[in-house]
Structure 1
Amino acid sequence: MKMKFFNLELKSIALLSMSLFFFLTSCQDYLEEQPSTLIDSDYIFTTEDGLKSGVVSLYKFNRDRYDNGTEDFMGAVLMSSRSDLAFSRTGYTGLMGRYQRGVSPVDQGANFVSSLFWKHYYNLANKATAIINAAEVVQGVDAATKNQILAEAKFFRAEAYFYLYRMFNNIYITTETITVDNAFNVINDKSSKEEIFALLNSDLSFAVEHLKWNDTFGRVTKGTAKHVKAKVAMWQGDWEEAKNQAISLIEEGPHSLVPTTADVFAGDRNNSEALFVIQSKDDLLGGGGNTMMNANYVTQYFQIPGIESNVEQGGRGFSRVLPNLYLLNLLAEDPNDTRDDNTYFRLKYYYTSGDKVGQEITIYKPITDLDNPSPTYQSYYQRLHPSCIKFAQEDDNPNSYLNRSNIMVYRLAETYLIAAEAIMRSSGDPLPYINAVRTRAGAAPLESVDQQAILDERARELAFEGHRWFTLKRMGQEVINSQITKYAGDGEYFPVNLGDKDPRENWQPHYINFPIAQIDLDLLGSSYPQNDGY
């Protein structure tokens, strides 16, 4: 008999002990929860403190994708590697980003995606659902507390299903708590788009209504829920709803753009622009694990004699996923744009020791003339190429690939760009919203807005934050086909990745949906549909 694909973990938990189901994740001031001992399922699902602890555990489960070390922490960077803004130089992430792996239900890349995304987000959705259903019937908990518990759990359920839908399209949703009794039920068909969005909007509407504007740093708030609800509306083509949610967040909430681009990723990301930050704190029980997220994005400049690893120049990296010429040219269009000036990206590197301290390093050259290619271009890409430094944190260890740093997931700059696009596609003036982002960056204001202007501004502002792939897919098959086949990778300027390593050549239109791994299909009913083209 086949079993629900997302019930594998639950079955073993139920048979062994539900005490591990939400074993606690935090202490002291981390999300302001205290750990407990001897926790069992009755405590979790029938008491106020247990339900609160269960909610805190959702933050840990949500963070697991970033903490997972599979193939140099591929789960943290995969979505950025598959875009029109990056070239994926090497490693298994490079194979994925170049569409050499993760393109068949039976290849190893699909198996990695199964673990890092499919199973991960179903795990999160199932745990959130169990809390929701328990909280709705629990006795002795006041209404305000119960609504707070429900609102956070419903946000995470919506977040999980929304991510799954955007990656895989053919997904199944449920509001049923999984138990030993129903764990062997077979799922034979995907949920309809209408069913999926009905649940997303219901969960997020509840979260918007009952979450507070301000809460402990790291917790989701009314602003987080409004932001995601606006994103969901964009996927539905409900431009009025997207506009209303975005403008409400901008005008009614306590959030504001920080004054300069240098402030956005400074410190621990606890600033007025942050809408949701995944916390990883040193020397704290439940404070997360070390990851190589930043290292994936930073070049190996430290291998050059006369320069040591330092956080200011990006920390210690290994050049997996780097900004391509298309993105760098977008950033360079306005000479006053500060987003390419050691804020979001590091373009130049400087000696830190020896008799050349402070001088720019120029020993390797990129290809600028295709008729006379640089003989050192490969070393340039490996050691001197511009890097994304959004994920380097001031207290990182510059001598280690592994660091524990906070991760900005959602921020208000994207809300402004959502408002601009939604207004452009409905009614009103989008210019104040897109120009607010540009003005903060020192770039000249735009005089008109169209779809390409939105795409370009999202690239400059949000590159490598995990949104680009979904933006291209949301805008449709023609847009994603055009952007990937024109711009992905660096083409002739990085000839080592031409031929079967060129993402522009490898792209196929059906890659707009990730394949459902065969190992997951085997746990579903025989009629459950694979995505088209696989």
Structure 2
Amino acid sequence: MKKRNGFIGIGKMMALALGLGLLFSCDDFFDPSQDLIQEKGDHYNTLDKVRRATIGSYAKLQDLVEGLVVMGDLRADLMTVTRNYDPFLLQLDRHQTLSEDNPYADPRPYYDVILNCNDVLTNIEKAKVDPKMTDDVMNMYIAEVKTLRAWVYFQLIQTYKTVPVVKEALDGEVPGYEPREYGESDMINWLLSEMKWAEEQAVPDWKLIDGDGKEISQPWHLTRVSRKALYGELLLYAGDYQTAAEKLRACIAEQEGNYLKVSNLSGGLNWRSYWDRVTLEGGSALEHLTTIPFSKSNHQTNGLLEIFSNETPGKYLLRPTVGSVKYWDGKKADGSLYRDFFRGLGSSYMVLEGDTVVVKYLNNKNNFLDDAVYPIYRAADIHLLFAEAINRLGRSEEALAVINSEIDGIQDVDGIRGRVGLDPIDILDLADLHPEVKTNMELVEYALLDERARELAFEGRRWNDLMRFAKRANRPEWLAERVASKYRVSNPELADELETKLGSEDNWKLTMPRIKEGQ
């Protein structure tokens, strides 16, 4: 994790981000060898420069990965600190007051991306002097950049109580500049309006073409934030379950070839391959919808190696909790044992030299994958979000079928559990496991939350999942009890404190850090 010297005033911070990063873009995540510095005056006078600036904005997502994983999983129930922890990680793990310089809660990498997007949106019309920049092509790029910016702001509003929103380019330092602060409701409404406009553009969700009408290469379309996926997730977050279900189903059904089918066609019985096949071909190409890639040969280092590996140069700072392991190995309601062979031991985690190690981003030698990928959206996530939406529409049996085996009317779908050879679960199984629950909808909510843990552990989703499910069901104890479980045996007093604190929704989100200039 890059250590930054405090979070200064937002106007100064944005000017610094602009100066340090805005004029740098990369044509391809895997090929940074070209001349990347452009003169500000002619930065946007051709379609090609707009394209490079757009892809350059995506390249900055690499700086977000460590924070996404740590903030998304360490505060929840599936991950905890090791004997090697640093104080910044312990603050997050135990929900303590964060120090002003905690690097994992630093919002500046997010604003680096936002400011790049704003600069493109502000200046893109300069490219009209290029005959290739037609109105349709311009709208395509505007939709692309607005989608990326919306995704970044969505991550911020799920973490912080209020978020400063900047929609314009900032050219140089703006003394005293203080943008409007958006709370959750205002932010979600604005992002929904942005995505509604982007969705209305006539460009297929999985393609981006250049000015000659040629589709940009495959690695690029697997890097772009999917409009339908983001729009569907925002609608789900906002409680518009009908439209969310429509958008998420379209995301699943309308991809070319066999994309997003959650089937054995995508290598489900070799689930580990989604991280090994780093060229995004074969199984991983069928699973990944939006991915942040890294290239070891081009010295693009993903800090997850340092965090998870217990072999040099790793520092082994975080590990799976005892409770997380039980999601893959446990007892059914009838007392019989089961094991999730494909997603658990050997895939999501391993025991190496006595340590329990997250290995989703490591190879079997405990080293970082040669060309690693971090998924923003992948097939299983979209299927489970779709099941979540239709369950809230009262279609609980259909939602359970998505977990088990199928989506009605879509071919080549084996279900989240079916594609990895697990027995289906039914309402009666769930009722036996949760005798206190009285409705099918709530039973399936439990099943969805558990299945997301098995499928998406250590991908930075868990904390936001717990908040979303608990808030929607008006059951804050769902979140509080799960997080407290990390310390229920080893430190019961701390577990009680966490359960009490997190029993109030007011303590779920953070206040964005502010530090006086010069610190």
Q: Normalized against structure 1, the TM-score is what?
A: 0.74
Aligned in 2, Cα 1:492/1:222: closer, same or farther, shift over 3 Å?
closer
Determine which of 387, 394, 403 is the counterpart of 1:420: 387
Aligned in 2, Cα 1:5/1:45: closer, same or farther, shift over 3 Å?
farther
> Aligned runs of 1:428-467 on 2, under 5 Å?
428=395, 429-435=398-404, 436-448=415-427, 449-467=443-461
Mapped pair 1:119 → 2:119: no
Determine which of 304, 307, 316 is the counterpart of 1:296: 307
Corresponding position of 1:335: 338
Q: Structure 2 counterpart of 1:57, which letter?
A: G
- Inter-partner Cα distance in structure 2 for 1:223 and 1:10: 23
Whether contact under 8 Å (2:245, 2:389) holds in the other structure is yes
Whether contact under 8 Å (2:232, 2:245) holds in the other structure is yes
> Aligned runs of 1:11-410 on 2, under 5 Å?
11=15, 21-26=22-27, 30=29, 35-36=34-35, 39-66=38-65, 76-90=69-83, 91-92=85-86, 94-99=89-94, 101=96, 103-104=97-98, 107-108=99-100, 111-115=102-106, 118-136=107-125, 138-139=127-128, 140=130, 141-180=133-172, 184-187=176-179, 189-208=180-199, 209=201, 210-214=203-207, 216-219=218-221, 224-254=226-256, 255=259, 256-257=261-262, 258-260=266-268, 261-268=271-278, 270=280, 271-284=285-298, 288=300, 290-298=301-309, 300=310, 317-333=314-330, 335-338=338-341, 339-346=343-350, 348-349=351-352, 383-393=353-363, 398=365, 405-410=372-377
Whether contact under 8 Å (2:110, 2:152) holds in the other structure is yes
Q: Indicate the SS of the match to 2:54.
A: helix
Aligned in 2, Cα 1:476/1:76: closer, same or farther, shift over 3 Å?
closer
Q: Indicate the SS of the match to 1:45.
A: coil
Alpha-carbon offset, residue 445 of structure 1: 1.1
Q: Indicate the SS of the match to 1:392.
A: coil
Q: Indicate the SS of the match to 2:375.
A: strand
Whether contact under 8 Å (2:278, 2:371) holds in the other structure is no
Q: Structure 1 counterpart of 2:277, which letter?
A: G
**Structure 1, residues 94-150: CA drift from partner, whole Å, max 9, x if none?**
41333264x25xx245x42453xx222122212202211222464131234323322
Alpha-carbon offset, residue 465 of structure 1: 0.4
Alpha-carbon offset, residue 486 of structure 1: 4.2
Whether contact under 8 Å (2:470, 2:479) holds in the other structure is no
Aligned in 2, Cα 1:192/1:327: closer, same or farther, shift over 3 Å?
closer
- Inter-partner Cα distance in structure 2 for 1:222 and 1:405: 17
Aligned in 2, Cα 1:183/1:275: closer, same or farther, shift over 3 Å?
farther
Q: Structure 1 counterpart of 2:322, which letter?
A: L
Whether contact under 8 Å (2:399, 2:444) holds in the other structure is no
Whether contact under 8 Å (1:268, 1:393) holds in the other structure is no
Determine which of 506, 513, 518 is the counterpart of 1:517: 513
Aligned in 2, Cα 1:26/1:9: closer, same or farther, shift over 3 Å?
farther
- Inter-partner Cα distance in structure 2 for 1:218 and 1:179: 29
- Inter-partner Cα distance in structure 1 for 2:500 and 2:345: 33
More off after superposition, 445-454 vs 244-253: 445-454
Mapped pair 1:468 → 2:462: yes
More off after superposition, 316-325 vs 456-465: 316-325
Provide structure 1 residue ranges, at least 5 long, that are not aligned to the other structure: 67-72, 303-308, 310-315, 350-382, 524-534
More off after superposition, 245-254 vs 473-482: 473-482
- Inter-partner Cα distance in structure 2 for 1:385 and 1:162: 35
**Matched residue count:** 446
Q: Percent identical across equivalent pairs?
A: 19
- Inter-partner Cα distance in structure 1 for 2:222 and 2:274: 19
Q: Indicate the SS of the match to 1:518.
A: coil
**Structure 1, residues 424-460: CA drift from partner, whole Å, max 9, x if none?**
0014321221110011122111223521111111111
Alpha-carbon offset, residue 265 of structure 1: 2.1
- Inter-partner Cα distance in structure 2 for 1:119 and 1:13: 8
Aligned in 2, Cα 1:244/1:130: closer, same or farther, shift over 3 Å?
same
Alpha-carbon offset, residue 321 of structure 1: 2.1
Q: Structure 1 counterpart of 2:362, which letter?
A: A
Aligned in 2, Cα 1:292/1:178: closer, same or farther, shift over 3 Å?
closer
Q: Indicate the SS of the match to 1:410.
A: strand
- Inter-partner Cα distance in structure 2 for 1:401 and 1:463: 18
Aligned in 2, Cα 1:400/1:250: closer, same or farther, shift over 3 Å?
closer
More off after superposition, 438-447 vs 44-53: 44-53
Aligned in 2, Cα 1:113/1:330: closer, same or farther, shift over 3 Å?
closer
Q: Indicate the SS of the match to 1:46.
A: coil
Q: Structure 1 counterpart of 2:239, which letter?
A: G
Alpha-carbon offset, residue 393 of structure 1: 4.3
Note the aligned Cα RMSD (angstroms). Answer: 3.4
Mapped pair 1:491 → 2:487: yes
Whether contact under 8 Å (1:33, 1:53) holds in the other structure is no
Alpha-carbon offset, residue 248 of structure 1: 0.7
Q: Structure 2 counterpart of 1:335, which letter?
A: Y
Aligned in 2, Cα 1:401/1:253: closer, same or farther, shift over 3 Å?
closer
Q: Structure 2 counterpart of 1:472, which letter?
A: L
- Inter-partner Cα distance in structure 2 for 1:329 and 1:75: 24
Q: Structure 2 counterpart of 1:120, which letter?
A: P
Alpha-carbon offset, residue 403 of structure 1: 7.2
- Inter-partner Cα distance in structure 2 for 1:423 and 1:78: 28
**Structure 1, residues 216-259: CA drift from partner, whole Å, max 9, x if none?**
31446787221111111121011112211111111111313223
Aligned in 2, Cα 1:35/1:10: closer, same or farther, shift over 3 Å?
farther
Provide structure 2 residue ranges, at least 5 long, that are not aligned to the other structure: 1-6, 208-216, 331-336, 405-414, 428-442
Whether contact under 8 Å (1:246, 1:418) holds in the other structure is yes
- Inter-partner Cα distance in structure 1 for 2:515 and 2:468: 27
Whether contact under 8 Å (1:97, 1:503) holds in the other structure is no
- Inter-partner Cα distance in structure 1 for 2:122 and 2:110: 18
- Inter-partner Cα distance in structure 2 for 1:400 and 1:57: 28
Q: Indicate the SS of the match to 2:401.
A: helix
Q: Structure 2 counterpart of 1:345, which letter?
A: Y
